[in-house]
Chains A and B, each alone.
Chain A
Amino acid sequence: MIETFLEFPFLRNTLYTGLMIGFIAPLLGTFIVVRRLSFIADGLSHVTLSGVAFGLMMQKKFALLMISPFYTGIAFAVIGAIFIEYLRGIYKAFQEIAIPIILSVGVGLSVIFISLADGFNTNLFAYLFGSVAAVSRTDLYIILMISVIVVAIVVFFYKELFALAFDEEFARASGIRTKTIHILFIVLTALVISASIRIVGVLLVSALMTLPVAASIRISRSFKQAIFFSILFGEAAVLIGLISGYYLEIPPGGTIVMTEALILLGTIIFNKHIHFLKTRG
């Protein structure tokens, strides 16, 4: 089954991209979930949609083909991330309000851009729900670059990111520049989201960052274990979802997320019956 993916170049690109985002999305997702910031991924994915819509509009209306929707999506996501932090600073007492603000602005802008371009064709559908055929060679290289940056930053700032996730007050009292680390983290999240939408689509990208983690924290004792299982589940879901999506002719966003949901269900049942890793040792 997987041979087909290796045989055709466009499927090969999709497979490689899938494996990369199956790694980086749950990696960052572990930090996002334990910091109770799961909704940030949703907010940012909708901002990315407005960026994509903007890019598609520029292409259609002004024939600006060098403005790829993929790039404008990345740019909007990063700007949106910084803006969420700005809003969280203003509404200190209601920090969660930043997310519905950004999310609705993202959707509002998307609607405007889409209608300005007199509606879109299947292209938009691919961005919404993901596609097995959407990844070009250039996209692949950009996603590879994003993956390298994300992994490198997480490795080098692991102890700071972990301290910030566990206990922000303690991190600040230890002299860590928590604000800088947090902004770095949010920008990374924006990059991962914009990289992931090629495969899973805007509407389901946050699932790729949170569902594998939701499954892994049920069975993990340590934080490193939680990261390991999140990535393992993320990769399994991407592989199974991509291949089944291709053969069933369903956008991979749907099949990947449903695979993750099944894994999550499995860990809940597993955890109910045996306390395996958590109580060992």
Chain B
Amino acid sequence: MTENILSVEHLSFQYDEQPVLKDINLSIQKGEFAGLIGPNGSGKTTLIKLILGLEKIQTGQIHLFGTPLEKFKQWHKIGFVSQKANTFNRGFPATVYETVAMGLTGKLGYFRFLKKKDQANVYEALSNVGMEKFAERNIGDLSGGQQQRVFIARALVSSPEFLILDEPTVGVDTDNVERFYKMLADLNQNQGITLLLISHDIGSITTHVTDLLCLNKTIHYHGNPNNYQNMTDEQKSQFYGHSMNTVTHHHS
């Protein structure tokens, strides 16, 4: 039997009368590598914030690991990688090690200190993303791609079962993007981590994911990425509102 990691039912959300999400229904099963695409302003980030409990649900329901969001407490089962490689304060005095160890905060709980085993986990997460040699370096001194790998290690250090990545390739140079997808595929296939990857870039994502979701305020397509690739532009624009091939948004 497949296990539902995430299920969203009839979820709608609006900011000051402005509808952002309309009647979203979706589910992600254990072992999937799901890709969520949509243009800027399609509500991707809002959907993620709702799933992570960073925004209050207005209508509808979200279940994580079968538990309603309001009662969900095992946040260490979920790893989150935001677009931070672009936005975090580069002058912050923190080493790569300190940054990754931060990922254990929620799992350890209050009044607990890092033990030897936890420290070993930090190094393991770093070697998972090929950054173990940089442990004592200042995070601000690294390149965008290296920083993003550190943030993935921070998400991995608590051994999550479900990893959510919001535009993780923004700010990563193109040479490293392919390498980055390989790493994600390895996490998914060899370590059994369920993935949800959010992107506005349909080109590279459809070749890697096992399940594709197209969002533009509501879910326009949910299924096999190959079927989506084989659709005509006309069919795609029906789902999407306009032709996908012309979508070349860049985040500012």
Q: Report whether chain A binds chain B.
A: yes
Q: Which A residues lie at the B interface, using CB under 8 A?
A: 34, 36, 156-157, 159-160, 162-163, 166-167, 169-176, 216-217, 220-226, 278-279, 281
Query: Are A281 and B110 in contact, CB atoms less than 8 angstroms apart?
Result: no
Residue on A nearest B51 in the bound complex, by CB:
A173
Residue on A nearest B89 in the bound complex, by CB:
A34
The secondary structure that dominates the A interface is helix
Among the 9-residue stretches B90-98, B206-214, B220-228, the one with 4 or more Cβ atoms under 8 Å from chain A is: B90-98
Selected contact of A169 from candidates B54, B99, B106, B138, CB within 8 Å: B54
- Residues of chain B with a CB closer than 8 A to A175's CB: 73, 75-76, 106
Q: Which B residues lie at the A interface, using CB under 8 A?
A: 52-54, 73, 75-76, 78, 80, 82, 84, 88-89, 91-95, 97-99, 101-108, 110-111, 113-114, 136-138, 141, 154, 158
Query: Are B111 and A170 in contact, CB atoms less than 8 angstroms apart?
Result: no
Query: Are B94 and A281 in contact, CB atoms less than 8 angstroms apart?
Result: no
CA separation between A222 and B135, bound complex, in Å? Answer: 11
CB of B120 to closest CB in A, whole Å: 17
Query: Are B94 and A222 in contact, CB atoms less than 8 angstroms apart?
Result: yes
Selected contact of A278 from candidates B104, B111, B113, B141, CB within 8 Å: B141
- Residues of chain A with a CB closer than 8 A to B54's CB: 169, 172-173
Selected contact of A167 from candidates B73, B88, B93, B104, CB within 8 Å: B88
CA separation between A224 and B101, bound complex, in Å? Answer: 13
CA separation between A129 and B93, bound complex, in Å? Answer: 32
Query: Are A162 and B103 in contact, CB atoms less than 8 angstroms apart?
Result: no
Selected contact of B138 from candidates A166, A167, A278, CB within 8 Å: A278
CA separation between A175 and B92, bound complex, in Å? Answer: 23
- Residues of chain A with a CB closer than 8 A to B106's CB: 174-176
Query: Are A166 and B93 in contact, CB atoms less than 8 angstroms apart?
Result: no
Query: Are B92 and A34 in contact, CB atoms less than 8 angstroms apart?
Result: yes
Residue on B nearest A36 in the bound complex, by CB:
B89
Query: Are A170 and B80 in contact, CB atoms less than 8 angstroms apart?
Result: yes
CA separation between A216 and B91, bound complex, in Å? Answer: 12
Residue on B nearest A221 in the bound complex, by CB:
B138
Nearest 10 A-B pairs (CB), nearest first? A174-B106, A175-B75, A226-B93, A281-B136, A222-B95, A175-B106, A220-B93, A173-B52, A221-B138, A163-B105
- Residues of chain B with a CB closer than 8 A to A216's CB: 93
CA separation between A209 and B158, bound complex, in Å? Answer: 34
Selected contact of B110 from candidates A157, A174, A217, A223, CB within 8 Å: A157
Pick from A160, A217, A279 the residue with the most CB of B within 10 Å.
Answer: A160
Pick from A169, A217, A224 the residue with the most CB of B within 10 Å.
Answer: A169
CB of B3 to closest CB in A, whole Å: 21
CA separation between A175 and B73, bound complex, in Å? Answer: 7
Query: Are B99 and A281 in contact, CB atoms less than 8 angstroms apart?
Result: no
Residue on A nearest B81 in the bound complex, by CB:
A170
CA separation between A221 and B91, bound complex, in Å? Answer: 10
Residue on A nearest B84 in the bound complex, by CB:
A167
Q: Known contacts A156-B111, A159-B108, A221-B138: does B103 contact A166 (CB below 8 Å)?
A: no
Residue on B nearest A160 in the bound complex, by CB:
B105
CA separation between A163 and B80, bound complex, in Å? Answer: 14
Query: Are B84 and A173 in contact, CB atoms less than 8 angstroms apart?
Result: no
- Residues of chain B with a CB closer than 8 A to A281's CB: 136-137
Query: Are A173 and B93 in contact, CB atoms less than 8 angstroms apart?
Result: no
CA separation between A216 and B93, bound complex, in Å? Answer: 9
CA separation between A169 and B107, bound complex, in Å? Answer: 16
- What are 13 A-B interface contacts by the 8 Å CB criterion? A156-B110, A159-B101, A159-B102, A159-B104, A160-B110, A166-B88, A166-B94, A169-B82, A172-B52, A174-B105, A220-B93, A278-B138, A281-B137
